[in-house]
Amino acid sequence: MTWAGPHRWLQAGLNIAIVAALLFAVSYLPPDTSLQDRRRDGILKVCVPPSYPPLITGDPSRPGFDAELADAIAKNLGLRLALNVLPSIGKDFNPRNWSLTRAQCDIIAGGVADTVQTRSFLQTLPTPAETGWVGISATGAMPPSGSTVAILPGTAGLDRLALSTWLRKQGLRAQLMRSPAELEQALNAGTVAAGITERFVAASLRLDTNALTMFWLDESISPRFRMALGLWKGDQTLKRAVADALELFEKSGVMLRLSARYGLDKDIVEPVSDPRK
């Protein structure tokens, strides 16, 4: 080939195109066998805590957002779902203390927060679920200092210390609630000016929605966490398949239906002081 052709860029462009096409083709090679192995076994092992409502409830008729999501993913991949209930999960936000092994779980769900700490050990696929401190009041904002605020900390590991420090600074009086029902009642009856609880608990409350508004507390008190599915690093093919499935659910409305079923679609107002706005 010594003929340069009528146009000087032809040969150059052709060479670049060939090389680029080759690389593009290569980028579709599977980098590992994780998906292939699951397919061979026919089982998708998902590790969950015994209870982490509303992601995991333990109630067979209403198993929870993550449980139903995992089931949908397994079906999408053509695998049988094996829910592996491990009491250690979700005890705190540091998954290092959960003592999980690759042999037990392919996916970890029900309380995996999408944080840098988690991502050091797992790769994460965020779900629509998000948690953090949520305020509930008639005005959609925290009441003036001197008011009484009902607090229900919930089970998730949000920073209670930071919350109480903040309340003291604001001059608000905290009244500890013992159950969601008690908080529900206090709010609906208007015996407290506002309530503060964890987002998932707030979603499960049956409130008079005409009178009360939910809003996120400022992230300076305690950061919000996006919940996620955790997969082992290096299981790229499985991760891609799961990510594809999630994207499909997003498009087909499955995700929306599940969110609605577990109250994850409820509008929560961003804090007024949020600098991101």
User: Which residues form the interface with another protein (CB under 8 A)?
Assistant: 2-6, 8, 11-13, 15-16, 18-20, 22-24, 26-29, 31-32, 95-103, 116, 119-123, 232-236, 239-240
Please give the order of strands across the beta sheet that includes 213-216: 173-176, 148-152, 194-198, 133-137, 213-216
Look at residues 132, 221, 218, 124 and name the one whose alpha carbon lies nearest to residue 168. 221
Task: Give the nearer residue to another protein in terms of CB position, either 121 or 179.
Answer: 121
Task: Give the nearer residue to another protein in terms of CB position, either 23 or 161.
Answer: 23
Kind plus residue range of the DSSP H or E element containing 197: strand 194-198
* CA dist., res. 223 & res. 157, Å (int): 11
CB of 239 to another protein, least distance (A): 7
Task: Give the nearer residue to another protein in terms of CB position, either 15 or 139.
Answer: 15
Angle at which helices 34-41 and 65-77 cross, to 10°? 90
Please give the angle made by the CA atoms of 44, 156 and 274, to the nearest 5 degrees: 110
First to last CA, the chain: 61
Task: Give the nearer residue to another protein in terms of CB position, either 31 or 253.
Answer: 31
Q: What does the buried/exposed string (b/e) look like for 170-194 if buried means 16 or more CB atoms within 10 Å of the residue's CB?
A: eebeebebeebeebbebbeeeebbb
Task: Give the nearer residue to another protein in terms of CB position, either 10 or 211.
Answer: 10
* CA dist., res. 71 & res. 172, Å (int): 44
DSSP secondary structure letter of residue 216: E
CB of 218 to another protein, least distance (A): 25
CB of 118 to another protein, least distance (A): 8
Look at residues 158, 63, 43 and name the one whose alpha carbon lies nearest to residue 104. 43
Task: Give the nearer residue to another protein in terms of CB position, either 99 or 139.
Answer: 99
Task: Give the nearer residue to another protein in terms of CB position, either 38 or 199.
Answer: 38
CB of 32 to another protein, least distance (A): 6
CB of 270 to another protein, least distance (A): 24
CB of 110 to another protein, least distance (A): 15
CB of 214 to another protein, least distance (A): 31
